[in-house]
Amino acid sequence: MKHYTSINDIDNINSWIKEAKEIKANPLKNIELGKNKTLGMLFFNSSLRTRLSTQKAALNLGMNPIVMNVSGDAWGIEFGDGTVMNGNTAEHIKEAAAVVSQYCDIIAVRAFPTLTDKEKDQSEQVLNSFVKFASVPVISMESATGHPLQGLTDAITVSENSTKKKPKVVLSWAPHIKALPHAVGNSFVQAMQKMDVEFVITNPEGYNLSKEITKDTPILHNQKEAFKDADFVYTKNWSSYDDYGKILNTDPNWTITKEKIGNAKFMHCLPVRRNVVVEDAVLDSDSSLVIEQANNRTFAAQLVLKKILENN
Ligand code: CP
């Protein structure tokens, strides 16, 4: 594996989960592997967990992480080919990616979608430009259409908390006041499709994720029916995919409550809006795995960095 930009880069999810658990049990075992290696972390968007957990993962491998908030702190980057750069962008991605490659052994990039230009978002212009023009491996720290570090984290967390051979996992849409990306939902779907779980998605009409992602995973528009006998309820808001980037529904009847999920474990990638997406009684209960998920972000990132360091 040279780059890690999608859940599809995972060749065998069970062996990856096993290795992540070994890393978690002994996080400093490979402290020499990344010695004198530099991880450049470029953020076009905000972050708490991804930023800190990926830095921590790099430090656990003996790497030196360098972090830059690209939006605001760097020169405006031009991604268009053949553009006459007489507008707001001062540096082309061809130079920017090549230059960062002089300072870093691995480049990690976070770049959210526009949610207004579906074609541009689907093309993954920012992430794919780094892959194309950097001379070193590239990791997605969440792109327009995927959040593979989160998806791997979630697979590890489901595995750790499963008490059944084949648990029932439900991905439920929940309301939100802002139009949010599809990335977390997409990567969670792809991760669960690789695992031996009974997997169901529930969302209101008009909110189906891309058919290219969901494939033959069942999608129910009745949340109550979907939650029946669930062992895990993973919750996330996303804007409409078909009516791209639009908020079509803010129905609080989709908010996750203790009564609805019963004995199921609750999962969310965070940050989460309390009492909009999920009620306090769920987040403050023993059923909530959200802090455990955040902890596992370090070991997912460490596994990805380890594999890239070993293979390049
Ligand atoms: N879950 C997640 O990616 O969190 P941040 O946006 O804070 O990095």
Compute CA 296 distance to the chain's CA centroid, rounded to the nearest angstrom: 12
Exposure of 163 in the CB half-sphere (CA atoms within 13 A): 6
Contact 76, 205 (CB under 8 A): no
54 lines ligand 1 (CB under 6 A): no
CA distances from residue 37 to 59, 149, 301 in whole angstroms, order as listed: 10, 20, 16
- Taking the CB of residue 232, how many other CB atoms lie within 10 A of it? 24
Closest by CA position to 122, among listed 186, 38, 179: 186
Which atom, in ligand 1's list, is nearest to the CA of 48? 7
pLDDT at 72: 85
The identity of residue 96, as a single letter, is A
Q: Locate tokens 């075992």: which residue?
A: 29
Rg of the chain (C-alpha set): 19
User: What is the CATH number assigned to the segment(s) 148-293?
Assistant: 3.40.50.1370
How far apart (Å, rounded) are the C-alpha atoms in residues 65 and 57?
Answer: 9
Place of tokens 């007489």: 86
In the chain, domain spans? 7-146+296-311, 148-293
The answer for 269, left when phi > 0, alpha when psi is -120 to 50, beta otherwise, is: alpha
How does 105-123 read in b/e, with b if 16+ C-beta sit within 10 Å? bbbbbbbbbebeebeebee
CA of 101 to the centre of ligand 1 (A): 25
Q: Which atom of ligand 1 is nearest to the CA of 46?
A: 6
Q: How many angstroms separate the CA atoms of 280 and 14, rounded? A: 33
Look at residues 174, 168, 114 and name the one whose alpha carbon lies nearest to residue 144: 114
150 touches ligand 1 (CB under 6 Å): yes
Token pair in block for residue 14 = 């069970």
CATH topology (fold) of 7-146+296-311 = Rossmann fold (3.40.50)
Q: Among 43, 45, 109, 142, which is best to mutate for testing ligand 1, by the most ligand atoms less than 8 A from CB? A: 142
Torsion angle defined by CA atoms of residues 260, 261, 263 and 264, in that order, rounded to the nearest 10 degrees: 170
In this chain, the answer to whether the domains covering 7-146+296-311 and 148-293 adopt an identical fold is yes
* Residue 74 in contact with ligand 1 by CB distance below 6 A: no
Is residue 182 in contact with ligand 1, taking CB distance under 6 Å?
A: no
Q: Three-state SS across the chain?
A: CCCECCHHHCCCHHHHHHHHHHHHHCCCCCCCCCCCCEEEEEECCCCCHHHHHHHHHHHHCCCEEEEEEHHHHCCCEECCCCCCCCCCCCEEHHHHHHHHHHHCCEEEEECCCCCCCHHHHHCCHHHHHHHHHCCCCEEECCCCCCCHHHHHHHHHHHHHHCCCCCCEEEEEECCCCCCCCCHHHHHHHHHHHHCCCEEEEECCCCCCCCHHHHCCCCEECCHHHHHCCCCEEEEECCCCCCCCCCCCCCCHHHCECHHHHCCCEEECCCCCCECCCECHHHHCCCCECHHHHHHHHHHHHHHHHHHHHHHC
> Ligand 1 centroid to 111 CA: how many Å?
12
Q: What is the pLDDT along the chain (312 residues), one digit of tens a residue?
A: 999 999 999 999 999 999 999 999 999 999 999 999 999 999 999 999 999 999 999 999 999 999 999 998 999 999 999 999 999 999 999 999 999 999 999 999 999 999 999 999 999 999 999 999 999 999 999 999 999 999 999 999 999 999 999 999 999 999 999 999 999 999 999 999 999 999 999 999 999 999 999 999 999 999 999 999 999 999 999 999 999 999 999 999 999 999 999 999 999 999 999 999 999 999 999 999 999 999 999 999 999 999 999 998
Burial of 34-60, coded b for 16+ CB within 10 Å and e otherwise, reads beebbbbbbbbeebebbbebbbbbbbb
